[in-house]
């Protein structure tokens, strides 16, 4: 399969912090010309059977997907899993445990926001939650925008939900090794999501890539809604340097919030091995 394929292998539904259902996302992806699609909800695979059925109804090929939250070098890193067996028990248990701390974290976030004069944020965020197991910072951001505290969710993150801000609560997610093991153990392929977004030093990034590879990780996202054009070039070179395949995905969350729509991305640079070439046997 060529690198000229409209593959979108990263997006979110109401099963995590997106605003569209898996069916609505499938319709939007198909309308935008997506040929190969994956729904990658955070720490969740509850939408996978619905997404695969909807993809098939629209004539799109499908890879199962998820985006696992990991703590590496005191920073949150996201690992996308593609093409795994959605009924694998060890993977489901691992994701269940990873989601487990979100409720308590949300209550602590709400306490922090209350000290900054914003009351009722926990209950307010819950109104935006599609999956009670998956309350996320994004849901708090939507509540604060609704209440007029900020103009958009980006501003909420900047002022309230990132390190040092009143609604930020540090959290320990899964270990890199475990996340990669759950994915590969379920016959899937592990991908480092949006590597350009982490605030790592060059040494820390090098350590992440090397350890990820040692644990069996095979790819990084190169063309993503989270990268600038300069980062497409930077991470294309790093994919070649480390022998990683390359993935492409919008990271679409919502028509009102996402600047990159499903399928509306530049092609993967031709010199790279597209991740879908390694996953042909897993495509449905």
Interface residues with ligand AMP (CB under 6 A) are 17, 42, 69, 136-138, 153-154, 157, 253
In terms of CB distance, is 13 or 69 closer to ligand AMP? 69
For residue 199, the minimal CB distance to Mn ion (Å) is 14
Closest to 7 in 3D by CA, of 217, 239, 267, 272: 267
Q: Which is nearer to ligand AMP, 136 or 247 (CB)?
A: 136
Quick one: which of 235, 213, 211, 210 has its CA closest to 223? 235
12 to 31, contacts with Mn ion by CB under 5 A? Answer: 17
The reply on whether position 137 binds Mn ion by CB under 5 A is no
Select the residue whose beta carbon is closest to Mn ion and give its number: 78
Binding mask 157-196 for Mn ion (x = CB under 5 A): ------------------------------------x---
Q: How far apart are CB 283 and ligand AMP at their closest, in Å?
A: 25
Q: Could you tell me the smallest distance in angstroms from the CB atom of residue 248 to ligand AMP?
A: 18
Regarding 251 and contact with Mn ion (CB under 5 A), the answer is yes
Residue 137 contact among Mn ion, ligand AMP, none, beta carbon within 5 to 8 Å by kind: ligand AMP
Residue nearer to ligand AMP on the CB measure, 66 or 136? 136
Structural contact between residues 72 and 138, judged by C-beta atoms closer than 8 angstroms: no
| Cβ closest to ligand AMP, residue 131 vs residue 136 | 136
Using the contact rule CB under 5 A, the part of the chain among 175-183, 246-254, 260-268, 270-278 near Mn ion is 246-254
Cβ distance to Mn ion smaller for residue 101 or 114: 101
CB of 10 to Mn ion, least distance (A): 6
**Residue 153 touches which of ligand AMP, Mn ion, none (CB < 5 to 8 A by kind)?**
ligand AMP
**By CB under 5 A, residue 221 contacts Mn ion:** no
Three-class secondary structure assignment of the chain: CCCCCCEECCECCCCCCCCCCHHHHHHHHHHCCCCEECCCCECCCCCHHHHHHHHHHCCCEECCEEEEEEEECCEEEEEEEECCCCCCHHHHHHHHHHHCCHHHHHHHHHHHHHHCCCCCHHHHHHCCCCCCCCCCHHHHHHHHHHCCCCCCHHHHHHHHHCCCCCCCCCCCCECHHHHHHHHHHCCCEEEECCHHHCCCCHHHHHHHHHHHHHCCCCEEEEEECCCCHHHHHHHHHHHHHHCCEEEEECCECCCCCCCCCCCCCCCCCCCCCEHHHCCHHHCC
Least distance to Mn ion, CB of residue 245, Å: 19
Task: Determine contact, residues 265/225, Cβ cutoff 8 Å.
Answer: yes
Interface contacts to Mn ion, rule CB under 5 A:
17, 67, 78, 193, 251
């Amino acid at each position: 399969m060529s690198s000229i394929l409209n593959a979108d292998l990263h997006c979110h539904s109401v099963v995590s912090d997106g605003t569209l259902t898996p069916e609505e996302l499938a319709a939007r992806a198909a309308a935008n010309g997506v040929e190969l699609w994956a729904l990658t909800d955070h720490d969740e695979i509850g939408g996978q059977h619905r997404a695969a059925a909807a993809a098939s109804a629209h004539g799109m090929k499908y890879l199962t997907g998820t985006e696992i939250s990991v703590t590496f070098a005191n920073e949150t890193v996201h690992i996308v899993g593609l093409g795994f067996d959605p009924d694998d028990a060890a993977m489901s248990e691992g994701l269940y445990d990873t989601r487990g701390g979100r409720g308590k974290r949300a209550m602590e976030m709400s306490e922090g926001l209350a000290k900054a004069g914003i009351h009722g944020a926990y209950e307010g965020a819950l109104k935006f939650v599609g999956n009670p197991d998956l309350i996320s910072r994004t849901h708090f951001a939507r509540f604060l925008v609704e209440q007029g505290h900020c103009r958009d969710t980006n501003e909420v993150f900047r002022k309230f939900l990132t390190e040092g801000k009143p609604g930020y609560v540090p959290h320990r997610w899964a270990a890199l090794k475990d996340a990669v093991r759950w994915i590969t153990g379920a016959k899937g392929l592990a991908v480092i999501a949006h590597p350009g977004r982490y605030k790592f030093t060059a040494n820390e990034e090098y350590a992440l890539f090397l350890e990820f590879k040692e644990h069996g990780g095979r790819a990084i996202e190169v063309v993503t809604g989270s990268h600038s054009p300069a980062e497409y070039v930077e991470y294309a070179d790093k994919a070649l340097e480390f022998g990683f395949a390359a993935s492409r995905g919008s990271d679409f969350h919502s028509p009102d919030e996402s600047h990159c729509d499903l399928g509306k991305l530049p092609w993967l640079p031709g010199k790279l091995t597209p991740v879908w070439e390694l996953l042909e046997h897993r495509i449905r």
